[in-house]
Amino acid sequence: MLPRIVQILAITTPTLLLVFGALVWLNPEWLIPRLRRSSPEVLYSIETEQRIVALTIDDGPDAEDSQKILQVLDAYDSHATFFIITDHISGNEDILQRMIVEGHELGNHLTADEPSIQLPIDVFEDKLLQADRALSQYAETHWLRPGSGWYNDEMLAVIAEHDYQCVLGSVYPYDPQINIHWFSAYYVLWKIKPGAVIILHDHGTRGARTAKALEIILPALARRGYQVVTLSELVGRNGRHP
C-alpha cells in the first residue's frame, strides 16, 4: 500500500491541475460585474460597443525585452500602459523616456515585485509614494495596480487619497505561470471583447514572451477591427476620466 501522503498527492495533484485548467479556460467573466458592484472604484474593463481595448504590461522596464515590446507596438501602431516597478528603473531611464515619446503611458506598480496585500498599510502607502516620486520625473501617473493583483478596503482608501485609481483587468492569460507565448496570444484572442483590459508582463523572460505573443495578438486584433490603446484613452473615449 502506498504511504498515506503519496495517496493524497496522487489524488489531489490531478484534481488541482483540473481546477487550475478550468479557471484558466473558463475565466469567470460572470464575476467581473459582481466585483464592479462591490468595488466600483476598481477598473476591470469598460462597457462599450466600440472595438477598442486597453493593453497593460506589468513589471518593467527591462534593459533588453522592453525594447522588443516597444518595437512590436510601434510596428502595429498600438499603445500600452506600462505598470512600472520603480526598483527596475535604474539603468533603464532611456526606456521610460522612449515609452512616453512613443505615446504610451506609465502606471504605478509600486517599488518591488511583491504581493501588496501582505504589506502593512503604512508600508504600502510609503511604497506607493516612493514609486510616485520616481515616476513623476517622467510623467504624471493616474493608474495603480497592486502587486499580485489583490487589494482590500484600506488599500483602496490609500490609493484614492493619493489621486490614483486601482486597475486590474478582464483578460489575463496567466503568463507568469504559463510560460508559453502562443498560449498567451490565443487566450487573449479567445477572451477579447470591446472595452477589455489586457494584462501581460515584462521583465526577464516574461518580456520576450510578451513580445512574441503581441506579434500574434496585434495583427489578429487589427483584422477584427480592434484598436489597442492606453487605459487613459480607453476610458476617455467612453466619457470617463482617470
My answer on whether 56 and 136 are in the same domain is yes
Question: Distance from CA of residue 153 to its chain's centroid?
Answer: 20
Which distant-in-sequence residues (6+ apart) come within 8 Å of 110 by Cβ?
Answer: 85, 86, 116, 124, 127, 128, 131, 144, 146, 147
pLDDT value at 89 more than 70: yes
Total domain count, the chain: 2
pLDDT at 241: 53
My answer on whether 21 and 43 are in the same domain is no
Residue 75, in any domain of the structure: yes
- Give the CB-side neighbour count of residue 179, counting CA atoms within 13 A: 7
Residue 195, in any domain of the structure: yes
Look at 10 and 228; give whichever has higher pLDDT. Answer: 228
Mean pLDDT of 190-211: 97
My answer on whether 92 and 165 are in the same domain is yes
My answer on whether 72 and 93 are in the same domain is yes
For residue 209 the three cell numbers come to 514572451
My answer on whether 67 and 174 are in the same domain is yes
Measured between alpha carbons, how far is 67 from 116 in angstroms, rounded to an integer?
27
pLDDT in tens, 36-82: 555 678 999 999 999 999 999 999 999 999 999 999 999 999 999 99
Residue 242, in any domain of the structure: no
Measured between alpha carbons, how far is 72 from 210 in angstroms, rounded to an integer?
10
Measured between alpha carbons, how far is 238 from 182 in angstroms, rounded to an integer?
31
